[in-house]
Structure 1
Amino acid sequence: MEFRNIVFVVTEECSCPLYNVGEEFSVQNSALSVERDKPVCLLMVRELLKALSSTKPMEQRISLQPQSKAKFECGGCTGLIRFEHKKDRPYSTLQMNLLKAAEQRAKQQIIAQFFGILRDMELFEPLSDFDLQDLAMMMKMKGYPPNKIIIEEGERGTNFYVVLSGKVAVVRKDSEIIAEIEPGGIFGEMSLLSGELTYPSVYSRTACQLATLNSKDFKHVLSKYPILQIFFYRVLVNRAQENTLRQGKISSGMSGDLTEINPVDLFQMINSGGKTGRVSFELEGGEVGEALFNEGEVVSCAFGVLTDKDAFFAILVQQKGRFTYTKGLTAEEKRLPVLGGFMGLVMEGLQRIDEQQEIGDE
């Protein structure tokens, strides 16, 4: 039996791994097609074939109850969806098609406005313009007024967000702002990737425009573009390291950003932990530096042409750049004399900073 131009729409969904409410799929010339190149669920195909192979033709079954729609259900896996036949009337189909086309054009205009932001993001760098436009069409645009909760701590993650305009803040329970996210930044991915509850809360600091992907579409995108999985793997590692740093811990191979932790706090963690190793710095403007610790005490330091204490004091004031901690020193480095008592060095360095600020104010 051949079926022509039969369209279905998902009306209910509970933990379905593939489809969302409102998505459509159609049977045309006995072939099933779904939206946005999503995979076709074979279990759903089986349920459709059962429905379409009934003893009464589809058209007759629908016409028996003109006030209701033919309803079907697929619950063959871990989830459940219910879908209905979308009855097409000539006078309404044109109106709906025009409305859908208008919505599509409006969305394309919004995407065109913010496409440059998406194109410049490191996350989407591996994608071609065509693939990025296709991905952007899957996103929903949401606007938020200032001081609106977007993600509340302790909830199950449901969406991945990209900031297109405005600014959002990441906030702990004690109301401390951990970070601010500006256009081109992302959030919400940690809960989707790890399956853990959301932490911490996120709210809009200003009026903002966000592009979102729900959890199923997010997983579909990762499956369709495996190269993006590498980026999110790095994000997971970096966030885990940031959380470890906030807990006052440091381990070999750990790296981070000086906007997240300043050199004074970083050095204090190494000193209090009695660590032996080196901290390498890549600072704004291309400058590099290095500090060597033996059992928590500073034994050598370099920054540009500066060495020892002068280099240590210069590194203390750095606010932008990245660091990497590596465990262990060579036997020769372990024999280097201590530059001075750690707390004494820090206090002298902070005093120099205050003096320089006073000179600058004058």
Structure 2
Amino acid sequence: MEYRDAIFIITEELSCPIYNVGEELKVESMALTVPEAKPACLLLVQEVMKIVSNRQSMERFTPQGIRKTKFACGGCTGLIRFEFKKEKGFATLQMKLLAAAEQRQRMKHVDKFYDLLRKLDIFEPLEEDSLRDLSALLELKEYGANKIILKKGDPGTSLYIVVEGKVAVVSDDGQTLSEMKVGDVFGEMSLLSGEPVTTSIHSRERTKLATLSSKDFKHVLNKYPILQVFFYRLLVERAQANSLRSGTISSGMTGKLSDIHPVELFQLINTSTKTGKVELLFEDGKATVLFNEGELVQAVHDNLAGKEAFFSLLAHSDGTFSYTSGISEEAAALPVIGGFMGLVMEGMRRIDEQSEE
């Protein structure tokens, strides 16, 4: 049986578990090549091979002019429609040069994202070929300053990686809850949980994002199970951050001070009358703070202790923390280090004075 070489383009898609609109299917030398980094669907292979083995024209004349013949593959849970794009192969030198230019442009696209992804901890376990496959699936989106990228309540459709610029997590009343910079990832919570977007995301300046569609995200997780561990941990961290913002804290909770400032963290423990220990880790040191029924009873930061240690912690906005409920009997017997709100106000006054110097 003779097969024709040809290129088809997907024009419609409805719940197809693999392919997207705009992707190409290429037939050459009795073999079907699917989009890079995508698995080959056997149902699609059979359908396309049936088409190229038929000698009838893949274009038709209509009163409106020449139209491409549309084909469909719907043998599973989804459906795609595709049409003939052009004959495979390039007969002229000009067309061959065009094909080479297209290949160079595609490799430029892959290399651009590859260099970015290689620097991210999330993709560190992937081998070079796997990372290039992943890079080929990404698309670039650009936003001007102060534009809405995601709106609370929207369905989750993509994973986003900040390539350039800065974005902010914004509350219902317009307050900035946290900011994300180059290399940070967002949008994964909705994709993993299937729930709508829980917070709005705005661009703070001109921003470029690498995006991975929901379908391709699921494909990547299935193909590279090691990434499932990372995204699970990220999901837990984000869920904990949301709990903190809503005013709840529990034993074993960890987080970043970029998500909740020390002042807010300590106030949360105080208003909740919690008894427990907060351990903080910074690039240049660490600290421990103890609370007994919401009141401060001990604070140690490097060579500082008591009020001075507590005041120094209020100036930190970078680092991590962990909270554990309960303190020892000896710590429970310690006297309270002054009124909590008075300490906070004194500490903030000192920070303001230092910033004015």
Cα distance, 1:77–1:91 mapped onto 2, change above 3 Å = closer
- 2:324 partner letter: T
Matched, 1:302 2:300: yes
Cα distance, 1:327–1:116 mapped onto 2, change above 3 Å = same
2:160 and 2:211 in contact (8 A); partners too = yes
Q: Which residue of 2 aligns with 1:21?
A: 21
Deviation at residue 63 of structure 1 after TM alignment: 7.2
Matched, 1:11 2:6: no
Cα distance, 1:31–1:105 mapped onto 2, change above 3 Å = closer
Q: Which residue of 1 aligns with 2:281?
A: 282
Q: Deviation digits for residues 127-172 of structure 1, max 9, x if unmatched?
A: 2344333322222223333333332332222222222222233323
Q: Which residue of 2 aligns with 1:60?
A: 56
Matched, 1:350 2:345: yes
Q: Which residue of 2 aligns with 1:164?
A: 163
Deviation at residue 198 of structure 1 after TM alignment: 2.1
More helix by share: 1
Separation of aligned partners in 1, 2:239 and 2:92: 51
- 2:353 partner letter: E
1:117 and 1:183 in contact (8 A); partners too = no
Q: Which residue of 2 aligns with 1:127?
A: 126
Aligned to 2:320, which of 319, 322, 325?
Answer: 322
Q: Which residue of 1 aligns with 2:37?
A: 37
- 2:13 partner letter: E
TM-score (norm 1): 0.84
Matched, 1:339 2:336: yes
Separation of aligned partners in 2, 1:188 and 1:100: 35
Cα distance, 1:224–1:355 mapped onto 2, change above 3 Å = closer
Separation of aligned partners in 1, 2:45 and 2:356: 74
Separation of aligned partners in 2, 1:82 and 1:233: 35
1:160 and 1:214 in contact (8 A); partners too = yes
1:32-181 to 2 correspondences below 5 Å: 32-48=32-48, 51-52=50-51, 58-60=54-56, 62=58, 67-88=66-87, 98-99=97-98, 101-109=100-108, 112=111, 115-181=114-180
The SS at the match of 1:44 is helix
Cα distance, 1:84–1:154 mapped onto 2, change above 3 Å = same
- 2:265 partner letter: L
1:228-243 to 2 correspondences below 5 Å: 228-243=227-242
The SS at the match of 1:326 is strand
Deviation at residue 241 of structure 1 after TM alignment: 0.6
Separation of aligned partners in 1, 2:326 and 2:189: 32
TM-score (norm 2): 0.85
- Let me know the Cα RMSD of the aligned residues: 3.1
Q: Deviation digits for residues 224-257 of structure 1, max 9, x if unmatched?
A: 2222222211111111011000001001111111
Runs of at least 5 residues in structure 1 that lack an aligned partner in the other structure: none
Separation of aligned partners in 2, 1:218 and 1:144: 22
Cα distance, 1:113–1:82 mapped onto 2, change above 3 Å = closer
Separation of aligned partners in 2, 1:226 and 1:303: 40
Q: Which residue of 1 aligns with 2:214?
A: 215
Separation of aligned partners in 1, 2:351 and 2:86: 76
Identity %: 49
Cα distance, 1:227–1:266 mapped onto 2, change above 3 Å = same
Moved more, 273-282 or 81-90: 81-90
1:264 and 1:346 in contact (8 A); partners too = no
Aligned residues, how many? 354
Separation of aligned partners in 2, 1:41 and 1:359: 64
2:37 and 2:137 in contact (8 A); partners too = no
1:2 and 1:29 in contact (8 A); partners too = no
Q: Deviation digits for residues 81-106 of structure 1, max 9, x if unmatched?
A: 11224441877887666445424423
The SS at the match of 1:20 is coil
- 1:184 partner letter: G
Runs of at least 5 residues in structure 2 that lack an aligned partner in the other structure: none
Separation of aligned partners in 2, 1:19 and 1:307: 60
- 1:161 partner letter: Y
The SS at the match of 1:163 is strand
Q: Deviation digits for residues 266-323 of structure 1, max 9, x if unmatched?
A: 12221222222211111231x1111222332333332223333433333333322111
